[in-house]
Amino acid sequence: MAKSKNNLKYIPTEIEQKWQKKWEETKIYSPNLDKPFDKAQGHRPFYNLMMFPYPSAEGMHVGNMYAFTGADIYGRFKRMQGNDVFEPIGLDGFGIHSENYAIKVGRHPKEQAKISEKNFYRQLRATGNGYDWSRTVETYDPKYYKWTQWLFIQLFKAGLAYRKKAPVNFCPSCKTVLADEQVIDEKCERCSSIVEKKELEQWFFKITKYADRLLNGLNEIDWAEKIKIAQKQWIGRSEGMIINFGGIDVFTTRPETADGATFLVLSPQHPKAKEFKSKDVVDYIEISTNKSDEERRREKTGVFTGEYIINPLTKKKIPVWIADYVLMGYGTGAIMAVPAEDERDREFAEKYKIPIEKTSLSAKPVGEKVVNYHLRDWLISRQRYWGPPIPMINCPKCGWQPVPEEQLPVLLPDVKDWKPLGTGKSPLANHPEFYKANCPNCKGPATRETDVSDTFLDSAWYFLRYVNTEFDNKPFDELRVKKWLPVNMYIGGPEHAVLHLLYSRFITMALHDLGFIDFDEPFTKFYAHGLIIKDGAKMSKSKGNVVVPDAYIKKYGADALRCYLMFTGPFSMGGDFRDSGIEGMSRFLKRVWALASGIKGKDADPALDTFMHKTIKSVTEDMENLNYNTAIAHLMEYYNELHYFYTKYKILNIKYCKTLVLLLASLAPHITEELWNNLGEKSSIHQQSWPAYDSKLLVENEVTIVIQVNGKVRDILKIKSADVKNQKDVEHFASLSANVKKHLDGKKIKKVIYVEGRIINFVLNS
**Footprint of Zn ion (CB under 5 A):** 395, 397-398, 439, 441-442
- Nearer Cβ to ligand ANZ (121/251): 251
Over the window 372 to 391, marking each residue x when it contacts ligand ANZ by CB under 6 A and - when it does not, the resulting string is x-------------------
Which of residues 333, 391, 427, 669 is near ligand ANZ by CB under 6 A?
333
Give the three-state DSSP class for 663.
helix
Pair 70, 528: CB distance under 8 Å: no
Compute the least distance from the CB of residue 429 to Zn ion, in Å: 20
Pair 24, 89: CB distance under 8 Å: no
Q: Which amino acid is at 205?
A: F
Give the Cα separation of 153 and 511 in Å (integer).
12
Instruction: Kindly list the distances between the CA atom of residue 662 and the CA atoms of 19, 596, 605, 634, 668, in Å, as whole numbers in the listed order.
Output: 16, 12, 19, 14, 10
Say whether the peptide bond before residue 409 is cis (omega within 30 degrees of 0). Answer: yes
Q: Residue 182: CB partners within 8 Å, gap ≥ 6? A: 169, 188, 189, 190, 499
Compute the least distance from the CB of residue 248 to ligand ANZ, in Å: 12
Segment interacting with ligand ANZ (CB under 6 A) among 74-82, 156-164, 204-212, 335-343: 335-343
- Nearer Cβ to ligand ANZ (102/326): 326
Question: Does 338 sit near ligand ANZ (CB under 6 A)?
Answer: yes
Give the Cα separation of 760 and 752 in Å (integer).
7
Give the Cα separation of 605 and 721 in Å (integer).
12
| From Zn ion, ligand ANZ, none, interface partner of 238 (C-beta below 5 to 8 A by class) | ligand ANZ
Question: Does 331 sit near ligand ANZ (CB under 6 A)?
Answer: yes
Compute the least distance from the CB of residue 331 to ligand ANZ, in Å: 3
Question: Does 238 sit near ligand ANZ (CB under 6 A)?
Answer: yes
- Nearer Cβ to Zn ion (208/441): 441
- Residue with nearest beta carbon to ligand ANZ: 341
Segment interacting with ligand ANZ (CB under 6 A) among 154-162, 333-341, 410-418, 746-754: 333-341
Give the Cα separation of 511 and 500 in Å (integer).
16
Pair 101, 598: CB distance under 8 Å: no
CA-closest candidate to residue 723, choices 557, 608, 575, 580: 608
Size of the site for ligand ANZ (CB under 6 A): 18
Which of residues 16, 92, 138, 342 is near ligand ANZ by CB under 6 A?
342
Question: Does 341 sit near ligand ANZ (CB under 6 A)?
Answer: yes
Q: Which amino acid is at 681?
A: E
Q: Which amino acid is at 530?
A: G
Pair 491, 70: CB distance under 8 Å: yes
- Nearer Cβ to ligand ANZ (351/436): 351
Which of residues 200, 221, 327, 636 is near ligand ANZ by CB under 6 A?
327
Question: Does 335 sit near ligand ANZ (CB under 6 A)?
Answer: yes
Question: Does 252 sit near ligand ANZ (CB under 6 A)?
Answer: yes
Segment interacting with ligand ANZ (CB under 6 A) among 66-74, 160-168, 313-321, 329-337: 329-337
CA-closest candidate to residue 602, choices 657, 528, 554, 561: 657
- Nearer Cβ to ligand ANZ (253/647): 253
Q: Phi first, then psi: what are they for 305, rounded to 5°?
A: -85, -15
Which of residues 257, 568, 586, 678 is near ligand ANZ by CB under 6 A?
257
- Nearer Cβ to ligand ANZ (30/257): 257
Residue 201: strand pairing partners: 165
Give the three-state DSSP class for 150.
helix
Q: Which amino acid is at 584?
A: G
Quick one: which H or E segment has residue 616? helix 606-624
Question: Does 723 sit near ligand ANZ (CB under 6 A)?
Answer: no
CA-closest candidate to residue 466, choices 88, 31, 150: 88
Segment interacting with ligand ANZ (CB under 6 A) among 160-168, 328-336, 432-440, 664-672: 328-336
Total Cβ atoms within 10 A of residue 25: 8
| From ligand ANZ, Zn ion, none, interface partner of 395 (C-beta below 5 to 8 A by class) | Zn ion
Question: Does 330 sit near ligand ANZ (CB under 6 A)?
Answer: yes
Question: Does 253 sit near ligand ANZ (CB under 6 A)?
Answer: yes
- Nearer Cβ to ligand ANZ (97/254): 254
Quick one: which H or E segment has residue 21? helix 12-26
What does the binding site for ligand ANZ look like in residue numbers (CB under 6 A)? 238, 251-254, 257, 267, 326-327, 330-331, 333, 335-336, 338, 341-342, 372
